[in-house]
Amino acid sequence: MEQLITFASDNGMLSAVWVALFVMIIVTTIRIQMSPIKQISTQDLVFLMNREEGIALDIRSDKDFKTSHILDAVSLSNEKINKNGFVSLEKHKAQPIIVVCSAGISAVKIANDLFKAGFSRVSVLKGGMNTWLGAGLPVSNK
């Protein structure tokens, strides 16, 4: 313990960075837990699509979507969202919507926008399409 205190006092800037990173991790973890937008696994996505008629909303580019996408996924790229908003999804407002991007990072913003637009059952696929492909789950290119 004494060595830790000596190290911290000798390396103030480095110690401050470590403390800041630690606080940021805690704050981010709490925000994720408190958010109405949940990050779900590939198994949960399959369950929602099969049992509750969930919609996999793929927000990747049209080119990426055509290369491979989750079976029965709906493509709505960021460009289309910026032009028309979520008009094409209005009929699915009561269904679970799972937002899918490449790595699960950019989907969070779109999921929050969907929630603010009145879609009550919005989730994000944790790890995005990379996780889906990594799990060896079926994809379509049609």
User: Which pTM does this prediction carry?
Assistant: 0.77
Q: How confident is the model at residue 50, as a pLDDT?
A: 93
Distance CA 81, CA 110 (A): 9
pLDDT in tens, 80-137: 887 777 888 888 888 999 999 999 888 988 998 999 888 889 999 999 999 999 999 9
For the segment 11-26, the average pLDDT, to the nearest whole number, is 92
**Which position has the token pair 């049609």?**
142
Residue among 122, 102, 121, 120 nearest 110 (CA)? 122
Is CATH 1.10.260.40 what the domain over 37-140 is classified as, yes or no?
A: no
pLDDT in tens, 29-83: 888 778 788 899 999 999 999 999 999 999 999 899 999 999 999 999 877 887 7
Distance CA 25, CA 98 (A): 25
